[in-house]
């Protein structure tokens, strides 16, 4: 028995070491619906945690936990960078989104979200849809990113893509002294909801594109756009996108694609994209810096969607969201200038800015230290 207790104690300490730096991690289990989920709340200094919930068939519980911890920490920095009054959180549902989804499962998840009493707001992410969270919203007020007809802001890829365009303009201003995007070549990796919209706008401006995507319909659609605009589209295979001659690389697909192998191949002046966690590690920001490639931190570039879902909690207003999204232009420009001034990477400059905002509020505004204020309850029951 003593040996069993010692082993149990050791396992407990391992868990607490793993979640060190996070305020709260909640394991959600509902056998009747098959729900197995984890909610991670990283930091509520700036306000209640905000972050989407993804559904993915993780190979192990450790993989799911590692993912939700990493993503929730990233949301803290993303919220701080976007200058919104929310903290960082994230949810993951363990399961195959193609076969394991049910309305009952998402209603059960909504009940777990509601049990946190306003400490965590969530909505769509990879593997989940707005309709999934219409079901969750039947059980809780603390849902965002739902369709317009249910009082939400609708498709968040619109402000996300617009944020990428602002990031590209500020990058052009910094590198070339002119924010004009026409006449330059952009390599786009991924033509999903965001990447396609970015490519379409660039073609309308007269830019040239080199694109790759496994979805042949998306390729055909962007080629059709080129036929009615002045820009050109060249299609390459997935791995070839890293060594094309272009002015800017725009990653809009998977994360972790900037690593030792790919950075060595790059022939671009800058990287400005919407994909989350583009850097394999923080060390790769230094490799880009040493190579003279300007890197726009992804959590600032892609924050247009976050701005929309956060703003939605005050009442959906598209004009207000697009107005707030314009701030991405100045934020990226300031990061570039600070990086140059302090001789540090752009990632370090961005992180320092976020840490400064958190430190300014720490100790007097931790959401978990006070009772839930009515100001955080904005929406009526769906």
| Run of H or E residues at 335 | helix 327-342
Are 19 and 66 a contacting pair, CB within 8 Å? no
Tell me the average pLDDT across 149-166.
90
Q: How do residues 261-295 score in pLDDT, each as one tens digit?
A: 999 999 999 999 999 889 999 999 999 999 999 99
The angle at the Cα of 357, spanning 351 to 360, to the nearest 5 degrees, equals: 135
Residue 5 has pLDDT above 80, yes or no: no
- 3-class secondary structure, 40: strand
Mark whether 18 is an active-site residue. Answer: no
Average pLDDT, the chain: 90
Residue 147 has pLDDT above 90, yes or no: no
- 3-class secondary structure, 204: helix
Residue 374 has pLDDT above 70, yes or no: no
How high is the pLDDT of residue 12?
54
Give the separation between CA 15 and CA 34, rounded to whole angstroms. 24
Are 132 and 158 a contacting pair, CB within 8 Å? no
Tell me the average pLDDT across 111-118.
96
What is the β-pairing status of strands 87-94 and 35-43?
antiparallel
Can you give 164-190 as a three-state secondary structure string? HHHHHHHHHHHHHCCCCCCCCEEEEEC
First to last CA, the chain: 51
Q: Mutual orientation of helices 61-81 and 304-312 as an angle, nearest 10°?
A: 80
Looking at per-residue pLDDT, the higher value among 147 and 175 belongs to 175
How high is the pLDDT of residue 372?
44
CA 113 to chain centre: 20
pTM, to two decimals:
0.84
Q: How do residues 204-263 score in pLDDT, each as one tens digit?
A: 999 999 999 999 999 999 999 999 888 899 999 999 999 999 999 999 998 889 999 999
Q: How do residues 82-96 score in pLDDT, each as one tens digit?
A: 989 999 999 999 999
Count of Cβ atoms closer than 10 Å to residue 139 Cβ: 20
Residue 360 has pLDDT above 90, yes or no: no
Q: Which of 90, 197, 324, 353 is catalytic?
A: 90
Count of Cβ atoms closer than 10 Å to residue 17 Cβ: 8
């Amino acid at each position: 028995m003593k040996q069993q207790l010692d082993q149990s104690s050791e396992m407990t300490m391992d868990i607490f070491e793993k979640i060190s730096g996070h305020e709260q991690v909640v394991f959600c289990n509902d056998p009747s619906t098959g729900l197995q989920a984890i909610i991670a709340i990283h930091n509520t200094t700036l306000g209640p945690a905000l972050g989407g919930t993804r559904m993915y068939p993780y190979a192990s519980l450790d993989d799911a936990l590692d993912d939700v911890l990493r993503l929730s920490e990233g949301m803290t920095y993303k919220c701080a960078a976007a200058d919104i009054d929310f903290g960082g959180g994230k949810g993951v549902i363990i399961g195959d989104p193609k076969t394991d989804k049910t309305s009952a499962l998402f209603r059960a998840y909504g009940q777990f979200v509601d049990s946190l009493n306003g400490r965590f707001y969530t909505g769509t992410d990879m593997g989940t849809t707005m309709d999934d969270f219409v079901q969750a919203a039947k059980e809780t007020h603390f849902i965002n990113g739902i369709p317009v007809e249910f009082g939400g802001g609708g498709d968040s890829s619109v402000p996300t893509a617009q944020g990428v365009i602002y990031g590209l303009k500020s990058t052009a201003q910094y590198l070339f002294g002119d924010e004009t995007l026409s006449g330059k070549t952009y390599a786009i990796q991924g033509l999903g909801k965001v990447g396609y919209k970015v490519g379409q706008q660039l073609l309308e401006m007269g830019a040239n594109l080199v694109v790759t995507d496994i979805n042949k319909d998306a390729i055909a659609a962007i080629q059709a756009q080129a036929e009615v605009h002045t820009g050109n589209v060249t299609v390459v295979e997935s791995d070839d996108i890293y060594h094309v001659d272009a002015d800017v690389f725009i990653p809009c697909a998977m994360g972790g694609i900037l690593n030792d192998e790919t950075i060595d191949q790059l022939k671009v002046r800058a990287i400005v994209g919407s994909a989350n966690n583009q850097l394999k590690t923080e060390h790769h920001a230094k490799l880009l810096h040493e190579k003279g490639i300007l890197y726009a931190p992804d959590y600032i570039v892609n924050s247009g969607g976050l701005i929309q879902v956060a703003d939605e909690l005050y009442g959906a207003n598209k004009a207000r969201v697009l107005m707030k999204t314009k701030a991405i232009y100045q934020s990226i420009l300031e990061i570039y200038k600070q990086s140059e001034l302090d001789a540090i990477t752009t990632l370090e400059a961005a992180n320092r800015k976020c840490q400064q905002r958190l430190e300014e509020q720490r100790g007097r505004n931790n959401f978990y230290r006070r009772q839930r204020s009515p100001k955080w309850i904005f929406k009526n029951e769906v």
